[in-house]
Amino acid sequence: MPSLTGNKPNQVPLNADLGQHAFLERPYRKVQRQLATASQTAFTITGGYALGYIDVYQNGVKLYSTDFTETNINTVTLTVGATLNDEMEFVIWWS
C-alpha cells in the first residue's frame, strides 16, 4: 500500500494500488444547536448553507426531509412546531 505522506490531510487516495491519482475530498461539517421555544417552526442557520446539504435533528432523532422545509439558505422551517426546550441540531455539510 502506498504511503499517504505528502497528501493533503483532507484527501484520501482512491485506487492507489493501481497507480491512479484520483482523490476523494472528505466532506466538512458545521453543527449548530439551539433550544426551541414553544411551537417554534422557523430556525435561522447562522452563516447560511447550501440547499440540500443539511441534516436536522430534534431531540437526537434525525428528521426526514418531509418533516421540514428548507425555506431559504438561512432558514429551516419545521412542518410541525417544536415543543418548548426541544434540542434542535442542524448539521451543515460542504466539501
Distance CA 1, CA 74 (A): 44
Q: What is the pLDDT of residue 26?
A: 65
Pairing mode, strands 68-72 and 11-14: unpaired
Containing 22, the helix (H) or strand (E) segment is strand 22-25
Mean pLDDT by 10 residues, the chain (95 residues): 43 45 67 97 95 96 97 96 98 89
Buried b (16+ CB within 10 A) or exposed e, 68-85: bebeeeeebebeeebeee
Q: How far apart are CA 9 and CA 11, in angstroms?
A: 6
pLDDT attached to residue 47: 92
pLDDT at 25: 59
